[in-house]
């Protein structure tokens, strides 16, 4: 993807298309995916420094672990402008664009709810093991949203309908125990995929209607940061408002997506050519400004769990710095061979995201969770997490070569 690029179809976690001409975007996304797999597995390892885990809500601090999820939101924003531009170039119907945005957001929410509710299944009421319930749902998602070749359309339709039926079956039979009875799906926490879906949808509500105004994303970013600060200062109360009613939530997640949009317009705006050095300087400038704003807003706290503006802005600063470095190495210097494994994960991110969960559910279903029960303390645990991460990336690489690719 470049300032003059057409599109090639590698996709991000929310399915946005990116061009291979700016390979640093896929590599950035793939590195973030690899770190997410690593820190998720490392969470079960004990005896490590507090800086290798999420910081508790009451502590005003953040670790690199607290920056992984917001980095995904930032990358979703980087992919969004070109995805919108490309879709409108193929079909100028804004109504169809909004239908696509809504369906993509719903797909992320559905997958997120499956992952979030796997631990709440009541096997006795469902007559189905929780791990099997989750595997059926994920299998349905893979069948429904896999990218199939154009040939044999009847078979493709049958596979997609089978996937939809598995998801519908999963939701229909779900039951969880509550005091005095049972209940259906728990919607309170839609998992990371669901949160990405909400943030993506909210960012589209702002970006799509104002996409022709060059500096609109910058203005929206400033407004979102101010709104986030007002929420954290308790000037605005969201106590009785759910994310389903107000997808902007307290503004932190959407501001991260919008920061990615601003960064994307620096590197990918096709309206005027800009030398790479100037693009990198502007991105570094955005990072410095974000860090300074986060420093100014520190009295409101530094916390991923509380979604404070400093947490979001310092993540933006880190993302700007890392992406500038990757852009210089991968797109200016054309050195990309070192990133072959993470690049695959970056171009097939949604499937890569689900592969570790498939492993965990299979291990639970078959009773072969040996890795989860051993090497779970100190340095051996770090080695285990690294080996697990590389293994998952290799599985993703093999699946991608076998033409198994998810796109929403």
Q: Please give the Cα distance from 386 to 114 (Å, whole number).
A: 26
pLDDT digits (tens, 9 = 90+) for 39-96: 999 998 988 999 899 999 899 999 999 999 999 999 999 999 989 998 999 999 999 9
Whether residue 372 is predicted with pLDDT greater than 80 in this model: the reply is no
Contact between residue 35 and residue 68 where contact means Cβ atoms under 8 Å apart: yes
Q: Which two tokens stand for residue 407?
A: 């796109």
pLDDT (0 to 100) of residue 150: 82
Helices (H), 51-152: 68-90, 94-117, 123-126, 130-145
Torsions phi, psi for 75 (to 5 deg): -70, -35
Q: Which two tokens stand for residue 361?
A: 């559910």
pLDDT digits (tens, 9 = 90+) for 87-141: 999 999 999 999 999 999 999 999 999 999 999 999 999 999 999 999 999 999 9
Average pLDDT of the segment spanning 24-44: 93
The size of the chain, in residues, is 408
Whether residue 298 is predicted with pLDDT greater than 70 in this model: the reply is yes
Contacts of 311 (CB under 8 A, 6+ apart): 62, 66, 70, 252, 294, 302, 303, 304
pLDDT digits (tens, 9 = 90+) for 144-153: 999 998 888 9
Question: What Å distances lie between residue 220 and 226, 259, 260, 280, CA to CA?
Answer: 10, 9, 12, 22
Closest CA to 314 of 132, 71, 149, 29: 71
Contact between residue 304 and residue 69 where contact means Cβ atoms under 8 Å apart: yes
Calculate the average pLDDT of the chain.
Answer: 90
Contact between residue 243 and residue 196 where contact means Cβ atoms under 8 Å apart: no
Count CA within 13 A, CB hemisphere, residue 238: 17
Contact between residue 261 and residue 217 where contact means Cβ atoms under 8 Å apart: yes
Q: Which two tokens stand for residue 356?
A: 């570790």
Q: Please give the Cα distance from 82 to 87 (Å, whole number).
A: 8
Locate the domains of the chain by residue range.
Answer: 23-401
């Amino acid at each position: 993807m470049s300032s003059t690029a057409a599109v090639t179809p590698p996709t991000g976690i929310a399915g946005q298309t990116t061009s291979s001409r700016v390979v640093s975007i896929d590599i950035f996304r793939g590195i973030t995916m690899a770190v997410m797999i690593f820190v998720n597995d490392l969470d079960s390892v004990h005896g490590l420094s507090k800086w290798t885990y999420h910081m508790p809500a009451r502590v005003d601090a953040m670790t690199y672990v607290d920056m992984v999820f917001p980095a995904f939101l930032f990358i979703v924003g980087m992919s969004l402008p070109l995805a919108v531009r490309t879709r409108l170039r193929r079909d100028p119907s804004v109504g169809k664009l909004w239908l696509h945005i809504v369906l993509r957001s719903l797909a992320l929410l559905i997958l997120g709810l499956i992952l979030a509710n796997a631990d709440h299944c009541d096997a006795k009421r469902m007559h189905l093991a929780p791990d099997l319930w989750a595997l059926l749902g994920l299998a349905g998602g893979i069948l429904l949203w896999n990218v199939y070749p154009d040939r044999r359309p009847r078979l493709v339709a049958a596979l997609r309908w089978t996937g939809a039926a598995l998801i519908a079956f999963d939701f229909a039979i779900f039951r969880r125990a509550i005091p005095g009875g049972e209940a259906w799906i728990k919607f309170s926490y839609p998992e990371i995929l669901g949160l990405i879906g909400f943030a993506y949808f909210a960012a589209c509500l702002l970006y799509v209607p104002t996409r022709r105004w060059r500096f609109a994303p910058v203005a929206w970013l400033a407004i979102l940061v101010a709104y986030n600060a007002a929420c954290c200062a308790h000037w605005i109360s969201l106590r009785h408002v759910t994310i389903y009613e107000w997808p902007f939530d307290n503004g932190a997640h959407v501001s991260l997506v919008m920061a990615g949009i601003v960064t994307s317009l620096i590197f990918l705006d096709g309206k005027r050519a800009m030398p790479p050095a100037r693009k990198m300087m502007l991105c570094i400038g955005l990072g410095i400004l974000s860090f300074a704003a986060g420093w100014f807003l520190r009295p409101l706290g530094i916390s991923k769990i509380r979604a404070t503006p400093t947490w979001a802005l310092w993540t933006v600063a880190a993302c700007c710095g890392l992406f500038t470095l990757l852009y210089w190495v991968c797109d200016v210097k054309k050195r990309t061979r070192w990133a072959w494994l993470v690049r695959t994960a970056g171009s097939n991110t949604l499937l890569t995201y689900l592969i570790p969960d498939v492993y965990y559910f299979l291990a639970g279903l078959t009773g072969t969770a040996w890795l989860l029960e051993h090497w779970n303390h100190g340095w051996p645990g770090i080695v285990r997490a690294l080996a697990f991460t590389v293994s998952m990336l290799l599985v993703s690489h093999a699946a991608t070569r076998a033409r198994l690719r998810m796109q929403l």
